[in-house]
Amino acid sequence: MNYRHSFHAGNSADVVKHALLIALVRALQLKEGALTLIDTHAGCGLYDLFGDQAQRTGEASQGVMRAFADTNPLLDDYRAAVQAVNDSPEPRLYPGSPRFLAQLLRPQDALILNEKHPEDALALRGAMRGTPAAIHQRDAYELWLALLPTRTPRGLVVVDPPYEQTDERARITATLAAAHRKWAHGVTAIWYPLKDRATHVQWKDKLRRLAIPKFLNVEHWLYDTDQPGLYNGAGLFIINPPYAFQQALPPLLEASRAALVPEGHRGRITADWLVK
């Protein structure tokens, strides 16, 4: 599945992913110790919702625009982070994960971004100008392992690939296994699209066999039944989520579901431990 992010910026998956990312980082920051935040597939950093690629799919209308029309205060932090890159009430620009993470940095924290695609890497450098982010242009999976363990005692790795390569899931599985051996206490968040249920079930079985403890799986299904050949939603695997994040999760997931559910459906967002 090709998921080049400029075509999908601000869609429902982004709303859930970034609302959860904010909550995850803030839960980690309840402790004063420095954090290293690493984004292995950083993308462009900033997206034009009225540009040709975003307009070709129109997915933002069912994502960030719905979140902005909603009034639930649990989504206030998410809306404020999007508003921070806009100078009008209606968002015209959408921040990628790098810009969300940069807004959350404390003086003691570090942000490391990686984007292999040459054009996207150039755009990323422009989007992150004025921030303290270190930017790399390397193979994401090589960088993921090379930077572990982090220089700070605690850290978060965000893995958000476009799933353009047929071996993407296999590389994530192998790299995660190696990363856990090097950095068992670290926090990792892995995003994925939900399209082919059979493929996804097989992948979850392979991840389950890694026997990594504290392996949380959050899944957002847009529709009440699968829509063959269509994008049905997205999910996050989160390894070692902090307790404060776990406690805040249920109401935040329900607020996201209620804001994003397509007309005629109830949708659902679940959070379960992959390894009991």
Report the catalytic residues: 160
Rounded CA separation 243/250 (Å): 13
**How many helices and strands, by DSSP H and E, does the chain display?**
10, 10
Residue 269 host element (H or E): strand 268-273
Rounded CA separation 18/96 (Å): 9
Rounded CA separation 247/25 (Å): 14
Long-range CB contact pairs, 171-179, < 8 A, 24+: 171/141, 172/141, 173/203, 173/206, 173/207, 173/210, 174/141, 175/141, 175/144, 175/145, 176/207, 176/210, 176/212, 176/239, 177/210, 178/145, 179/144, 179/145, 179/148
Residue 200: closest CA among 234, 157, 150, 155? 234
